[in-house]
Structure 1
Amino acid sequence: MKTSKYLLATLLMTGGVAQAADNLHFYGNLLSKSCTLVAQGETLAEVHFPPISYKDLMAIGQSDRMPVVFQLKDCKGPAQYSVKVTLTGTEDSGQPGFLAIESSSGAQGVGIGMEKTDGTPVPINDPSGATFVLTNGSNALNFRAWLQAKSGRNVTPGDFTAMLTATFEYI
């Protein structure tokens, strides 16, 4: 949790020493956590891409976007608070910012891109991540994922898996 508060005190002294009791008060709010993550089994989200022909993927370069939703519940905080979500994992060697599929996968020649639903890219291992404004109660953090064919490489058909870690920082 990252919280920033600034206190600016200006002391004006004119002709002598003045003393007043209890004239400076401090207020704040310390949060142990702002929301509860809703897990589906042992994961926060799971994406199943529909089958796509490797020839079509090579021809168009990328698959359709698939929704990726992180669910948060019991969010409690001050008005106008946010969460920054960073995504980390093994980056595709041929496509910076894209998630690599596991080397044990049958499919090869693709990476997985991530973006917010407004089309803003959310590169893997980028510390700036994606920021969402939260409301008290339940929130859905909506992303989209797609398969991206590596430029100049053949796409090999087969099953694939990939994993990433989502980190939530309340700001």
Structure 2
Amino acid sequence: MKTAHIYSPGYALLAGLLLTASTGARAVDNNLHFYGNLLSKSCTLVVDGANLAEIHFPTVSNRDLMVAGQSAHLPVVFKLKDCKGPAGYNVKVTLTGTEDSGQPGFLAVDDTSTAQGVGIGMETLDGKRVDINNTTGATFALTNGNNDINFRAWIQAKSGRDVTIGDFTASLTATFEYI
């Protein structure tokens, strides 16, 4: 059986143009630049015992919590000392923990808690909510010396759910990124 090959000058021209186009591409030297700033130890985080902070909410009536929707806001202060850095440097604080499945952005109470139907909210002093497990976190300006990083925390009742009385605990991790 004979096979016929059809030769067309157009195909040769197309192949030649493609070959020429691919050999015409050249790498451009030094077209990606990296910049950064290395700091010495930025700040020392003040730790009291094994924890950064322990927040003790006052006793709240489940009825009051269901009516108001949330408790009073309590201060949460992270203390940084001996901060040293260039003018205009900041710290970004992100909060990670078990998120409440019924309240996105809120910290869930631990499984061992007898109180149910609540979560823990966190916000900055200007009222900007800082959601759990959100990489945006909250950014604070730092000055050389000592700095207080201020948040507020509150108990939030789950909408449409009964609040079961009892004790509760909840834990989160605060991460500090100097930027």
TM-score range, shorter chain: 0.7 to 0.9
Q: Which of 81, 91, 96 pairs up with 1:88?
A: 96
Q: CA deviation at 1:103?
A: 1.0
Mapped to 2, the partners of 1:140 and 1:74 lie a distance apart of 12
Mapped to 2, the partners of 1:141 and 1:92 lie a distance apart of 24
RMSD: 1.5
Secondary structure of residue in 1 paired with 2:122: strand
Relative to 1, partners in 2 of residues 1:143 and 1:5: Cα closer, same or farther, differing over 3 Å?
Answer: farther
Mapped to 1, the partners of 2:97 and 2:41 lie a distance apart of 24
Query: Which segments of 5 or more consecutive residues in structure 1 lack a partner in the other structure?
Result: 7-27
Q: Which of 98, 101, 112 pairs up with 2:120?
A: 112
Deviation string, structure 1 residues 19-71 (Cα, Å, up to 9, x no partner): xxxxxxxxx86224310000010111111000010011011110000000000
Aligned positions of 1:1-171 closer than 5 A:
6=35, 30-171=38-179
Deviates more, 1:95-104 or 1:32-41: 32-41
Mapped to 2, the partners of 1:130 and 1:84 lie a distance apart of 6
Amino acid at match of 1:87: L
Deviation string, structure 1 residues 111-153 (Cα, Å, up to 9, x no partner): 0000001000100000000000000010000000000000111
Other-structure match for 1:12: none
Secondary structure of residue in 2 paired with 1:115: strand
Q: Give 1 or 2 for the bigger CA radius of gyration.
A: 2
Q: Percent identity?
A: 73
Secondary structure of residue in 2 paired with 1:57: helix
User: How high is the TM-score relative to the length of structure 1?
Assistant: 0.83
Mapped to 2, the partners of 1:60 and 1:82 lie a distance apart of 36
Amino acid at match of 2:48: Q
Mapped to 1, the partners of 2:164 and 2:34 lie a distance apart of 53
Mapped to 2, the partners of 1:75 and 1:100 lie a distance apart of 33
Q: CA deviation at 1:5?
A: 7.3
Count of residues paired in the alignment:
147
Mapped to 2, the partners of 1:30 and 1:130 lie a distance apart of 22
Secondary structure of residue in 1 paired with 2:151: strand
Mapped to 1, the partners of 2:151 and 2:135 lie a distance apart of 17
Mapped to 1, the partners of 2:40 and 2:144 lie a distance apart of 15
Mapped to 1, the partners of 2:149 and 2:140 lie a distance apart of 7
In the TM superposition, structure 1's runs of 4+ consecutive aligned residues that sit over 6 Å from their partners are: none
Mapped to 2, the partners of 1:71 and 1:105 lie a distance apart of 29
Secondary structure of residue in 2 paired with 1:55: helix
